[in-house]
Amino acid sequence: MPSGRTHDRITIWALPIVVGVTFWQTRNGNLTLLVATGFMLGGLMFGPDLDIYSRQFQRWGWLRWIWLPYQKRLRHRSFFSHGPLIGTTLRVIYFTLFLSIIAVIGLLIAEKVGNVALNWQGLGNGILGAIAQYKTEFIALFLGLEAGAMSHSFSDWTGSAYKRFKKQGIRGILPSRKIKKRKVVRGKKLVTKGRKKR
């Protein structure tokens, strides 16, 4: 598994490729900027290693406590943190829920303290309208986050495969066969034999 510094270098070195491919596909500077921003965030701050005490986690500074419940619930390098699409989706949902709770608490305090009457239905409709209006931009940002996270996960997977290859040869990178044990009774002794599962 590459170090945090190596992951950062991969993210920075891959950025020009991401920008070039995105602009080539979209011919839109704004979408390219959103994808590039998402890619940098996904690679440096919002990536799979938020499930451990990592460089990504430390970059959140005094806000890193936000990710402590996330760390407690997920095993490092699990499918739910490092998996394609699911990892980024879970982090986005987790962070959005956190921001929503903070926003609702802030609005409730403002409503009580400031004697402000809020139209909760209008606020909800406004948020849904903004999401519908800017859905292309949200998708571009999400794709950037996913690309940054996948560059991290891919380098983890290839680094681990390379180490297994150096240690075990080609067997280290091929899918392993599980061994099923069968019990054989001979006289009064119980003997366990290994047999390859087919």
Average pLDDT for runs of 10 along the chain of length 198: 76 95 95 96 91 91 94 85 90 94 88 78 87 95 94 78 73 62 55 51
What is the Cα Rg of the chain in Å? 24
Name the pTM for this structure.
Answer: 0.75
Tell me how far CA of residue 15 lies from CA of 51, 142, 178, in angstroms.
Answer: 24, 16, 40
- Distance in angstroms (rounded) separating the CA atoms of residues 38 and 28: 16
